[in-house]
């Protein structure tokens, strides 16, 4: 999995409110990997976690306070949300 694959999936999420709701309801990274696979995107758990950690480490406190789920966090990391 590359960051490009993750960004492609999140681009799809940004344009599909039902898919966004499912992503925001994800209980963990395994749920995100499964959801992405269902929609034709091959994501790797380790790569998601690395990209996630790198981006969140740089995020300001106010942005982190708005994150309520793994899906929210992932969308925040890759700019697929306006909650920053």
CA 54 to chain centre: 13
Long-range contacts of 58-66 (CB under 8 A, 24+ apart): 59/84
Cα(15)–Cα(77) distance, rounded to whole angstroms?
Answer: 17
**Per-residue pLDDT for the chain (84 aa), expressed as one digit of tens each?**
577 888 888 889 888 999 988 988 888 889 989 999 999 999 988 888 887 788 788 888 887 888 887 777 777 776 665 443
pLDDT at 80: 60
Q: What is the DSSP letter of 28?
A: S
Annotated domain spans of the chain:
3-77
CA nearest 7: which of 82, 83, 77, 84?
A: 77
Is the entire prediction scored with pTM above 0.85? Answer: no
């Amino acid at each position: 999995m590359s960051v490009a694959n993750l960004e492609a999936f999140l681009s799809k999420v940004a344009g599909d409110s039902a898919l966004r709701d499912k992503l925001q309801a994800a209980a963990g990274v395994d749920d995100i990997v499964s959801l992405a696979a269902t929609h034709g995107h091959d994501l790797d758990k380790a790569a998601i976690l690395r990209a996630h950690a790198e981006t969140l480490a740089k995020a300001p406190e106010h942005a982190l306070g708005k994150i309520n789920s793994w899906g929210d966090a992932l969308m925040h990391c890759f700019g697929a949300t306006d909650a920053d």
